[in-house]
Amino acid sequence: MSRYYTRVCNFYFGFKSKALIKKAKSLPLNGNNLISFDEIEIISRKSIKKLSIKKINDLPNPVKKIVKKDIKVITKKKNFKNLNFKTLPKIMGVLNMTPDSFSDGGKYNKNYLAKKRLNYLFNSGANIVDIGGESTRPGSKPISSKIEWNRIKYILNKFSKKNFLSLDTRKSEIMEKGINLGVALINDVSGLNYDKNSIKVLKKYKIPFVLQHSLGNPDVMQNNPKYKNVLLDIYDFFEKKIEYLRMNGINHNNIILDPGIGFGKNLKHNLKLIKNISIYHSLGLPILLGISRKKFIKELSKKNDSSSRVGGTISSSIYAMMQGVQLLRIHDVNEINQSLKVFKELIK
């Protein structure tokens, strides 16, 4: 039998969502009555079938069994350490203390500038801020642990115990140092593939982490990336990786999934992932999407591109919210929060 995947779609929000759930016309996402859906897509590598949730019982028994199992996972309430996903989406601010990151390299690589930026991000409504000391932009080369740590140690020493900080690193040595200073989340863009000891550190401290998909290391990841089906290939990657983590003793569910927009993907791949991002809800873990200032915005807007790409970030952030994405990784926190607040009021 073909492998089938369930993607929930046609979402409702706020009062309308609550009313539809009460009338049994929609189902809550993650047990949250403030966001619900009333349609699904049943996807295989050969076909896509869209139907109302009311038509699930009309499916052939083998497919119906798969879909009902997925729906149970999708609608189950999720508890995540330090993050309450009742109000969506949560915002992860970006603070790169590097001289060469693709968008803001050199802007915050002095301690006083980083401190000022960190305070601004939290005051603008960031729920968490992701601190990075190594650029992983396309074409970038790795740096030593010593250089990376020297860039970020001041901020982590001063603020990790006071604020909800995430640490953007691929190196187990940096992870462990950050955790010991109070970092609350690890964000490894390599999907724990860069450093084999990373899994041991995550197991030892039982700390939440982001599991991101990336096709190879940054220096080569954009060299003609290919997939059979980018949406389903990444779904299979997550499924196998989660199983591998369980086998290696990581049993907690404080894991966030990130499909890695721009990490070994061309424009076609990125668009397919963003448009269909809600397929990953059936894996039962929160979804993070990093679309802020990414190259796909330039490729779509062409002559209307700007260095900030705030407009493209806003539109894709609203779209992600409409797909039930739980966490957005954002540079321009104030502008995105403003756009989301206004949009939520307009759709009430």
Write the pLDDT tens digit of every residue in 60-95: 999 999 999 999 999 998 878 778 888 899 999 999
Rounded to whole angstroms, the Cα distance separating 124 from 17 reads 28
User: 32-67, pLDDT tens digit by residue?
Assistant: 999 999 999 999 999 999 999 999 999 999 999 999
CA atoms within 13 A on the CB side of 109: 16
Residue 269 dihedral angles phi and psi, to the nearest 5°: -65, -45
Which of these is catalytic: 7, 177, 294, 295?
294
Superfamily of structural domain 90-346 = Dihydropteroate synthase-like (3.20.20.20)
For the chain, what percent of residues have pLDDT higher than 70? 98
pLDDT value of position 243? 97
* Residues pairing with 32 in the sheet: 29
User: 217-235, pLDDT tens digit by residue?
Assistant: 887 778 889 999 999 999 9
Rounded mean pLDDT, 93-100: 87
- Closest to 234 in 3D by CA, of 217, 253, 220, 214: 214
pLDDT value of position 105? 57
Given a contact cutoff of 8 angstroms between Cβ atoms, the answer to whether 330 and 318 are in contact is no
User: 123-155, pLDDT tens digit by residue?
Assistant: 999 999 999 999 887 777 889 999 999 999 999
Residue 64 known to be catalytic: no
Rounded to whole angstroms, the Cα distance separating 254 from 103 reads 29
Residue 102 above 70 pLDDT?
Answer: no
Residue 329 known to be catalytic: yes
Tokens of 110: 């002095």
User: 295-327, pLDDT tens digit by residue?
Assistant: 999 999 998 998 789 999 999 999 999 999 999
Rounded to whole angstroms, the Cα distance separating 62 from 42 reads 13
Burial category of 64 from C-beta neighbours within 10 Å (exposed 0-12, middle 13-18, buried 19 and up): middle
Which of these is catalytic: 329, 341, 344, 348?
329
User: 237-280, pLDDT tens digit by residue?
Assistant: 999 999 999 999 998 889 999 999 999 999 999 999 999 999 99
Domain ranges in the chain? 5-75, 90-346
